């Protein structure tokens, strides 16, 4: 029977990064598949027929944090042992599938080589900026990536920027790469106020009129630059920081770190924020920009190429590596209600150009070849 086997391990941890991509894609893909096709989700112990649920942070995240704090040789050995067990289970379970879709570090060995392997790449930060990653993760990636990228029959790239980097740095033919931009779930991310979610935020002391940062404490996200803006301006306006992180988030006066939240609460945070700050130095796509625009939240970002690709003319940009320029841009925008309203309207219109249904259709073309 024709079908798609997806490595769903990123769906088994807290909903960030690759997991959010897979959840959005496969939620739409299940509705787009022709009758007779099926999807199997490799969860580490079995291949399930249904999309796994979205877990809250748990033991897997704690294990990840522990690895990052171990000496590199010990952490690498632990990762290799865990990965080896997962790959052996995958080889036993991969079965008779038409397509194997991988969106993690690199493809796993598949017992049935006739399956078409499609590999989604989000960015090339491990290759181009290893200093932004834990040393054991870089060593693990280097151990297998160069060989296994050659196993793929076709590739998906989440942006034109990522596609270009793949052709330049991996010497891949553009004809083998399908650009499949991420989408936005309009049922979750929209301008409709959610009073129940707001009640939860009120209890946390987050009511409105704040700057917002969404993302991990990953060094390339440059949270420290957003905190520096707050300190330079000396405002009573707080900076609300959202997102699960194995990294240490910045701690400073005026910073309210509420950690990981559900999509429902995240959407409400966007709706009530004065401005989303996205100072990230490097992104493959930049999903917070898209989701913020869908909720009517104005966005001030760095000039990172992928963020320009997503935001178009609906977002404002500044050199976020220059603290003074960054602070001045924030100050000017927050005090200009007319400009913020115009950005919000343009952002909503821009976000409508992205949907998970379109992501699914483009991905299916890569699957079918």
Q: Identify the structural domains of the chain with CATH numbers, from first to last.
A: 3-183+356-368 (3.40.50.2000), 195-351 (3.40.50.2000)
pLDDT at 246: 55
Residue 324: pLDDT band (50, 70, 90) is very high
Residue 61: pLDDT band (50, 70, 90) is very low
pTM score: 0.92
For 336-352, the pLDDT digits (tens) are: 999 999 999 999 999 99
For 100-130, the pLDDT digits (tens) are: 999 999 999 986 667 899 999 999 999 999 9
For 48-57, the pLDDT digits (tens) are: 999 988 765 5
Residue 249: pLDDT band (50, 70, 90) is low
pLDDT at 59: 45
Please choose, from the candidates 243, 259, 337, the residue with its C-alpha nearest in 3D space to the C-alpha of residue 298: 337
Cβ–Cβ contacts within 10 Å for residue 247, how many?
Answer: 16
pLDDT at 79: 87
Residue 212: pLDDT band (50, 70, 90) is very high
């Amino acid at each position: 029977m024709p079908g798609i086997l997806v490595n769903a391990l990123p769906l088994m941890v807290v909903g960030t990064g690759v997991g959010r991509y897979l959840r959005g894609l496969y939620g739409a893909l299940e509705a787009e598949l022709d009758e007779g096709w099926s999807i199997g989700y490799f969860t580490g112990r079995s291949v399930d027929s249904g999309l796994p649920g979205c877990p809250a942070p748990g033991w897997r995240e704690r294990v990840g944090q522990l690895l990052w704090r171990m000496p590199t040789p010990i952490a690498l050995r632990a990762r290799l042992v865990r990965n080896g067990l997962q790959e052996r289970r995958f080889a036993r379970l991969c079965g008779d599938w038409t397509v194997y879709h991988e969106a993690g570090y690199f493809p796993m060995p598949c017992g049935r080589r006739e399956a078409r392997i499609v590999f989604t790449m989000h960015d090339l930060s491990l290759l181009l900026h290893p200093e932004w990653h834990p040393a054991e993760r870089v060593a693990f990636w280097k151990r297998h990536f160069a060989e296994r990228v050659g196993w793929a029959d076709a590739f998906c790239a989440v942006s034109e920027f990522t596609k270009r980097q793949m052709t330049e740095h991996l010497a891949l033919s553009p004809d083998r790469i399908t650009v499949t931009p991420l989408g936005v779930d309009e049922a979750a991310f929209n301008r409709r106020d959610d009073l129940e979610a707001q009640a939860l935020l009120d209890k946390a002391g987050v009511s409105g009129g704040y700057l917002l940062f969404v993302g991990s404490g990953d060094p390339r996200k440059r949270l420290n630059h957003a905190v520096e803006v707050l300190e330079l301006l000396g405002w009573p306006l707080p900076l609300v920081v959202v997102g699960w992180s194995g990294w240490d988030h910045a701690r400073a006066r005026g910073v309210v770190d509420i950690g990981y939240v559900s999509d429902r609460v995240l959407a409400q945070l966007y709706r009530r924020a004065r401005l989303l700050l996205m100072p990230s130095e490097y992104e493959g796509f930049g999903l917070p920009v898209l989701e913020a625009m869908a909720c009517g939240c104005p966005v001030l970002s760095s000039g990172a190429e992928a963020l320009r690709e997503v935001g178009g003319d609906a977002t404002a940009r500044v050199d976020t590596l220059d603290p003074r320029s960054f602070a001045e841009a924030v100050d000017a925008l927050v005090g200009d209600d007319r400009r913020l309203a115009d950005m919000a309207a343009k952002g909503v219109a821009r976000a409508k150009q992205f949907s998970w249904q379109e992501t699914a259709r483009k991905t299916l073309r890569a699957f079918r070849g």
